[in-house]
Amino acid sequence: MPLLATSLLIALLSLAITSEARLRTCKARNLPAIEVFGLEIVNLSSKEQRGFEAWDQPLDSNLPLKFKPLDFCNFTITYTHPGQNDRIHVYIWLPFDDWNGRFLGQGGGGWSAGGDGALASGVALGYAAANTDAGHSLYGNFDDLLGNAHKWAMLSPGNINWVLLQDFASRALDDLPKIAKQVIKGFYGEEPKHSYWSGCSTGGRQGLMSAQRFPTNYNGILAVAPAINWASFVPAEYWPQIMMRKFNYYPPPHELEAIRKAAIESCDVLDGVKDGVISAPGLCAFDAQSVVGSTFYLDGEERVVTSAAADIANAIWEGPIQDGKREWFGNTHETSFGGMSPFMGIPDGLAMTICAAGGKNCEGYSFPISPNWIQYFVEKDPKFDVLQMDESDFFEALHRSRNEYSSIMDTSDPDLSGFKASGGKMITWHGLADELIFPNGSSNYYERVLALDPGAREFYRYFEAPGVQHCTGGIGAFPSHALDSLVAWVEKGIAPDTLDAASISRDKSEAVRSRPLCPYPQVAAYTGGDPDEASSFRCAESFDAFSEQRGPHTEL
């Protein structure tokens, strides 16, 4: 008997040693088989990375851009949904040391669900990070991110690739954490203690999809500037180009910029502080016709603002309205009509024009996702010419887009009861100078969530970020620690009463302006003192809340 016991002990010990040795070794064959209902693993590969320093492009601006060299194991999993002929890649990067015990799903942008190369920022923070390409590999190339839907959208002219659209819209988002959690367990010997999602734009839409449809996958979701209401807002992004066509005028960018500056000059102070930012867009009733005839400079030449440009600007702010009915929202007055995206380093905006020297012979140039969507998904015709669309064609396309795609793409279901029941917490913030996604779509959604569940702020809070552009950029204060706020809410029960935000001050000195962002529908009202200090603001129901204390409007 003792002999048997000893050999049993030896056997057990060696088993323990081997399984311990299997842990944190970057070998695909050391992982137990991955089993997720409805999918079949095609390939699993591993690659050990030491001192990884490549420039990272996190599509989520709440993650860091710069970090020290990283050591991690890179698992790449290829799988299919049998019978659907799709082939999806999941990328999982696992830090060897200093794992913080958490899983982070990272979102994509534009047409990209995510992809290899985007995960270093999560790993740098100690997360085991993963993302998915959802079956169409479009990462790391801005043309693919923004304009190349034809590479996967259709099986043939007239025939949508519904499988890949479903994978992009929702299915792959459910697979990702299910696969990643098994890989994490195989690698570290334990499941993550908490799971988070972080994404902006398409990544924000993906976060909302997870909360609405797969409510137990994540403990915390950061869904920034979400591409919510896709079937409505994506066609609506084309409205500015339709208006330029209607008024038969393509203003040089300088002319629209002169109008925008005048609007900011007029509406900046409505929130009680003159800081170059319109923090109260709902109070801004600026009419562009009021600056017709005023001058601006283009290549050193004095020009005047035309009535046609004013009509176009007003229509863009108003948004698409048909027979008195609002079909979608417009841009805020603060929003740039066209310019460079600090986020992507490419021209963006919805009312871009490209002109010859001296602002002559201007032509419209649209943010590509919108005409892409209309051409391939709504019309299903690669030869369809969006340039021939008039206003009534536009509304027809918008209605058809909604009718055919809302249930697949919109992520605007206000019923978050499943997510609430599972104990999840979610934060959304949206820049009020977002040049691509109308922030009113987010506030409208949050209001519908509150209408259904007046107690929703106990697990979901929405913050508006005045003066912040799409995902990042702009002179408004930016909430760069939103993910930390989410973690504190999930793990310590500390609900975010504000998001701390900061920006470089208007004189472009090194001084940093700090501001609280307040949970919607509250606003950050000025209470007096240095307007560059967060302590001079308090969350209030309206901007007038502290006007008696602070006296007349402050000029900086």
Ligand X SMILES: *[C@@H]1O[C@H](CO)[C@@H](O)[C@H](O)[C@H]1NC(C)=O
Active site residues: 201, 434, 470
Residue nearest ligand X (C-beta atom):
282
Which of 205, 430 has the CB closer to ligand X? 430
Q: Binding ligand X by CB under 6 A: which of 161, 443, 485, 498?
A: 443
Of 109-168, which residues contact ligand X (CB under 6 A)? 116
CA–CA separation, 65 and 294 (whole Å): 42
Q: Binding ligand X by CB under 6 A: which of 49, 198, 522, 536?
A: 49
Which of 77, 389 has the CB closer to ligand X? 77
Tokens of 50: 């030491």
Cβ-contact 374, 385 below 8 angstroms: no
Q: Which run of H or E residues covers position 393?
A: helix 391-409
Q: What x/- string results for residues 185 through 224 when contact with ligand X is judged by CB under 6 A?
A: ----------------------------------------
Which of 306, 444 has the CB closer to ligand X? 444
Of the listed pieces 12-20, 45-53, 185-193, 379-387, which binds ligand X according to CB under 6 A? 45-53
Of the listed pieces 42-50, 103-111, 134-142, 533-541, which binds ligand X according to CB under 6 A? 42-50
Shortest approach of ligand X to residue 90 CB, angstroms? 11
Of 515-554, which residues contact ligand X (CB under 6 A)? none
Closest CA to 393 of 415, 426, 409, 371: 371
Q: Binding ligand X by CB under 6 A: which of 32, 38, 189, 282?
A: 282
Answer positive or negative: Cα dihedral of 136, 140, 142, 146: positive
Q: Binding ligand X by CB under 6 A: which of 14, 43, 403, 535?
A: 43
Which of 377, 395 has the CB closer to ligand X? 395
Q: Total residues at the site for ligand X (CB under 6 A)?
A: 13
Q: Binding ligand X by CB under 6 A: which of 370, 440, 485, 498?
A: 440
Burial grade of 96 (CB within 10 A; 0-12, 13-18, 19 or more): middle
Q: Binding ligand X by CB under 6 A: which of 57, 61, 62, 74?
A: 74
CA–CA separation, 271 and 493 (whole Å): 32
Q: Binding ligand X by CB under 6 A: which of 18, 45, 322, 417?
A: 45
Shortest approach of ligand X to residue 49 CB, angstroms? 5
SS (H, E, C) 510-555: CCEEEEEECECCCEEEECCCCCCCHHHEEEECCCCCCHHHHCCCEC
Shortest approach of ligand X to residue 328 CB, angstroms? 10
Q: 282 φ, ψ to 5°?
A: -65, -20
CA–CA separation, 538 and 536 (whole Å): 7
Residue 84 CB partners (closer than 8 Å, separation 6+) = 163
Q: Binding ligand X by CB under 6 A: which of 24, 64, 71, 76?
A: 76
Q: Binding ligand X by CB under 6 A: which of 47, 150, 193, 261?
A: 47
Answer positive or negative: Cα dihedral of 201, 204, 210, 212: negative
Shortest approach of ligand X to residue 437 CB, angstroms? 13
Cβ-contact 352, 337 below 8 angstroms: yes
Which of 54, 304 has the CB closer to ligand X? 54
Closest CA to 243 of 384, 353, 110, 377: 353
Cα-Cα-Cα-Cα torsion 524, 527, 532, 535, nearest 10 degrees, comes to: -80
Of the listed pieces 44-52, 183-191, 446-454, 505-513, which binds ligand X according to CB under 6 A? 44-52
Closest CA to 501 of 530, 528, 470, 475: 475
Give how far Cα 56 sits from Cα of 45, 117, 120, 287, 547, Å. 22, 7, 6, 42, 45
Shortest approach of ligand X to residue 199 CB, angstroms? 20
Which of 43, 295 has the CB closer to ligand X? 43
Q: Is 368 helix (H, G, I), strand (E, B) or coil?
A: coil
Binding site for ligand X (CB under 6 A): 43, 45, 47, 49, 74, 76, 116, 281-282, 329, 440, 443, 464
